[in-house]
Amino acid sequence: MISTSTENDHLPIYEDLVRERGDAVAEAQLAADHTQHQAAELLTGRDAARQAHRRDDNTTAAAGGQPQWGGSLP
């Protein structure tokens, strides 16, 4: 059976599930957008001041058993 676009335009089962349980696809998209925004802030250094305040003289990485990075920023 070949389905046409008119058959797929109205999806009552999906609409019922969205009403009952919420729109997981939309929620996942919002979460992905938020994560992408946070990553962009971190990569561009906009959040660097806030992170520097959280750190205690670069001891966070060493305390966690992670080697300290000695490179330079781009």
pLDDT tens string 11-34: 888 888 889 999 999 999 999 999
Q: What percent of the chain has pLDDT over 70?
A: 49
For the segment 37-53, the average pLDDT, to the nearest whole number, is 77
pTM of the model: 0.43
> In this predicted structure, what is the pLDDT of residue 17?
87
Token pair for residue 20?
């009952």
Closest C-alpha among 21, 23, 41 to residue 33: 41
Confidence of residue 66 (pLDDT cuts 50, 70, 90): low
Asked whether the predicted pLDDT for residue 58 surpasses 60, the reply is no
Which residues, other chains included, contact 54 with Cβ-Cβ below 8 Å and sequence gap of 6+?
60
